[in-house]
Each structure stands twice: as C-alpha cells, then as structure tokens.
Amino acid sequence: MLEIKNLHARIAEDGTEIIKGLNLTIQDGEVAAIMGPNGSGKSTLSYILAGREDYEVTEGEIIYNGENILELDAAERAAKGVFLAFQYPVEIPGVATMQFLKVAINEQRKARGEGELSTPDFMRKVKEASAELKIDYEMLKRPLNVGFSGGEKKRAEILQMALLEPKLCVMDETDSGLDIDALKIVADGVNALRAPDRSVMVITHYQRLLDYIVPDTVHVLYKGQIIKTGGKELAHELEANGYADIIGEAA
C-alpha cells in the first residue's frame, strides 16, 4: 500500500528540515499507529502524504500502490484514495451535511473522470453508510458541524470518510480532546472500515485510542525519523515507560 523510502522534507517557506530520512512501509489492510513526542514531525508527515504545498520533499520516495505520488497534487492523491481526516472539523453554516457530502463525493468522482452520482444513488449510499455507522439520518439535514456535539462532529467525519471509500486513511490525532464516547465513535467507525484493501495510519500521542483501534504495527517517530517499529505491545510499553528509553536506544 505505502512505502516511504529515505524521505527528507522541509518547510517551503524557511527551508527548515522536519523529515530527516524517514522509512516506513504499510501493507494492504494494515492499521499502523504512528506515535511520538510532540514536535517529532507526525503532522508534517500526514500533510506531506496528503500533498500539502507548504512542504518540499528534497530526497526520497513515497510509493503508494506502486506509484510514486510525489508528482501528484493533493486533489489527484485524494482521487486515488488518500484521505486525511481533519483534526478540527470546519463548520459550514447554510450547507446541510447531506449537501456537503454530495459535493465531496462528486468532486472526487470528477477527479477520477467519473460522472456525477444520481440523487437516488447518492441517497442510497448515504442511507447504507449511516446505518452501518449508526448515524441518525436526521443529523444529516443540519448544517455541517454547526452546533454539533463533539461526538456528532466525529460521526460526520467518519461518514465522510466511509463515503469517499479511501484506500489509505491518515488520521492525525483524531482523538485529541475527545471524551470516551466520541473516542468510541471514531474507533467503531475506523474498525468498520477495516478491509483487506484499505490501510489506516493512526497518528496518536496517547495509547488510549489504541485500546479501541488495535493496530497491527506501531512506529515511533522522533526528530523526523522512525526510530522503532513493533507490534501493538510497543504502545503499552510506551505508555508505561515513556519515550526516553527508546530515544536513548536509538541514539
């Protein structure tokens, strides 16, 4: 699914190198957790995967489903199934959630060279996905995120993710600031999306989310490099002992 080789990247504006020779492989169907102290470059990595233009890759490769995607812009990557979940959902007054979802789907279809989805087909898709994710259909008539509770915002986001049928979901600290109920919504949503041809990169600062989304692999990112890779037990080890030992070992 994803193979990142010797990636070096810097902030376009001032040239500061943030990613410094990062190697990471994620298999089809794998859920990979990326953990690491604040300022390690976790968010930067997610932005670079999504194709944000504020960063420059100076060396290395990102191979996604056999293709080097560094040549593609953000919209082209999204069309190919790369989905980056927003950490802070935007409120869109005056646009019903349903309408927003329809535009999102049709934009993606357009980028793929496919025709617009008919209204009945769209409605059927939304009904199926919301039933599967236990989302109240009535919520979708309200303006996107306006006055939504934390849990409702998360449901709307997970629904959007499900409808776009991504191949690689990148979730950057989606758990930050969530109470336990909202955390479970996110986890149930991600778990429902698990599939042999879909991979998930869960970026998190805390082990807590990984009790609900049990990862296949855990990678520690520190100062722009992956310094340790292990199984789900690595997250528990980090929770118990902190990052200091692993950072010491790597040094």
With contact defined as beta carbons under 8 Å apart, do 61 and 7 qualify?
Answer: yes
Which of the residues 116 through 145 are near ligand ADP (CB under 6 A)?
none
# binding residues, ligand ADP (CB under 6 A)? 11
Pattern 35-74, Mg ion, x by CB under 5 A: ---x---xx-------------------------------
Tokens found for residue 142: 């309200």
- Nearest residue (CB) to Mg ion, 38 versus 119: 38
Report residue 194: phi and psi, to 5°.
-60, 130
Q: How many CB atoms lie within 10 A of CB 60?
A: 16
Q: Looking at 40, 145, 160, 199, which residue binds ligand ADP (CB under 6 A)? A: 40
Which of the residues 9 through 38 are near Mg ion (CB under 5 A)?
38
The reply on whether position 18 binds ligand ADP by CB under 6 A is yes
CB 230 to ligand ADP: min, Å: 19
Query: Which among Mg ion, ligand ADP, none contacts residue 54 (Cβ within 5 to 8 A by kind)?
Result: ligand ADP
With contact defined as beta carbons under 8 Å apart, do 5 and 61 qualify?
Answer: yes
Query: Which among ligand ADP, Mg ion, none contacts residue 132 (Cβ within 5 to 8 A by kind)?
Result: none
The reply on whether position 11 binds ligand ADP by CB under 6 A is yes
State the helix-helix crossing angle for 150-163 and 180-193, rounded to 10 degrees.
10
Q: Looking at 6, 54, 136, 242, which residue binds ligand ADP (CB under 6 A)? A: 54
- Nearest residue (CB) to ligand ADP, 98 versus 221: 221
Instruction: For residues 52 and 39, give the distance between their C-alpha atoms in angstroms, rounded to a whole number.
Output: 18
- Nearest residue (CB) to ligand ADP, 20 versus 194: 20
Q: How many CB atoms lie within 10 A of CB 14?
A: 6
With contact defined as beta carbons under 8 Å apart, do 133 and 159 qualify?
Answer: yes
The reply on whether position 58 binds ligand ADP by CB under 6 A is no
Which of the stretches 40-48, 76-84, 110-118, 183-191 binds ligand ADP when contact is defined by CB under 6 A? Answer: 40-48
Instruction: For residues 99 and 141, give the distance between their C-alpha atoms in angstroms, rounded to a whole number.
Output: 8
- Angle at alpha carbon of residue 143, lines to 140 and 145, rounded to 5°: 90
The reply on whether position 166 binds ligand ADP by CB under 6 A is no
Q: Looking at 4, 44, 213, 235, which residue binds ligand ADP (CB under 6 A)? A: 44
Instruction: For residues 134 and 162, give the distance between their C-alpha atoms in angstroms, rounded to a whole number.
Output: 12
Buried b / exposed e across 20-53, counting CB within 10 Å, b at 16+? eebebbbeeebbbbbbbeeebbbebbbbbbbbee
Q: What does the binding site for ligand ADP look like in residue numbers (CB under 6 A)?
A: 11, 18, 36, 38-44, 54
Q: What does the binding site for Mg ion look like in residue numbers (CB under 5 A)?
A: 38, 42-43
